Homo-oligomer: A and B are copies of this chain.
Amino acid sequence: MTAVLVIEDDDRIRLALLLALEEEGYSASGAATAEEGLRRQREEPADHVLVDLMLPGLDGFECIRRLRRDDDVPIVVVSARDDTHDIVAALEAGADDYVVKPVAIKELSARLRALRRRGRVLTDAVPAQVFGDLEISAEAGEVRRAGRPVAVTRTEFRLLCELAEHAGRVLSRQQLLRRVWGYETGDERLVDVHVGRLRQKIEPDPANPRHLVTLRGLGYKLQR
């Protein structure tokens, strides 16, 4: 699980953040002072650090500099002050992002994800979408069935991704033509052909598809 360390002196805000982060699926821990936070990060490094700027004793800027000195953990400043000078100073000190309180937890979570993605090399995980025995990994550019890689062409891959993105929902041939091929108009049979080819590759029994199903008169959908 992704661990987050929150360095913030205001108890209420710190606890609220911790709760919200855990709600979002993070493992969160807190520190009330910069010194405490630095110690925690040294002993048991988290994957992200959130820092307030106004801290008693060692201030936020110095805290960021010290964190950065022996670690390149992503640092996000969470501050009440919306002041260009502070923002610039914090970023210069080594922070990666700066958000202003009060902050929507969804935004914070999205920003943390964005930071992780930038640093994904460090955590080399390859996310994949899973549909039963079917796995689709955009990063690896491959599709697996029952763990075995299946060779699909680029068009088939895009088609599959498009269907996967809207899993469980019907997509009309027109929509697919537009989204996969970029055609504003075109022969809808084209979609049939590619769906057929895809089925040959990803369905155990292509004649009785279980994932990539036809909805007569409507289009196709991918179901789990």
Identify the A interface with B (CB < 8 A).
72, 74, 84-85, 87-88, 91-92, 94-98, 104, 106-107, 109-111, 113-115, 117-119, 121-122, 124, 126, 139-142, 153-154, 165-170, 215-219, 221
- The answer, among B97, B121, B141, B167, for a CB contact under 8 Å with A114, is B97
Question: Are the CB atoms of A169 and B126 closer together than 8 Å?
Answer: yes
Question: Are the CB atoms of B91 and A121 closer together than 8 Å?
Answer: no
Given contacts A139-B169, A140-B170, 20 further A-B contacts (CB under 8 A): A74-B118, A85-B106, A87-B104, A87-B111, A88-B109, A88-B110, A91-B111, A92-B110, A94-B117, A96-B118, A97-B114, A118-B118, A118-B122, A121-B166, A124-B167, A124-B168, A126-B169, A153-B217, A154-B217, A154-B218
Tell me whether chain A's interface is mostly helix, strand or loop, or mixed.
mixed
Question: Are the CB atoms of A84 and B106 closer together than 8 Å?
Answer: yes
Question: Are the CB atoms of B72 and A121 closer together than 8 Å?
Answer: yes
Identify the interface centre among A91, A139, A215, A216: most chain B CB within 10 Å of its CB.
Answer: A91
Q: What's the Cα separation between A72 and B92 when bound, in Å?
A: 23
- Residues from chain B with a CB closer than 8 A to the CB of A97 are 97, 111, 114
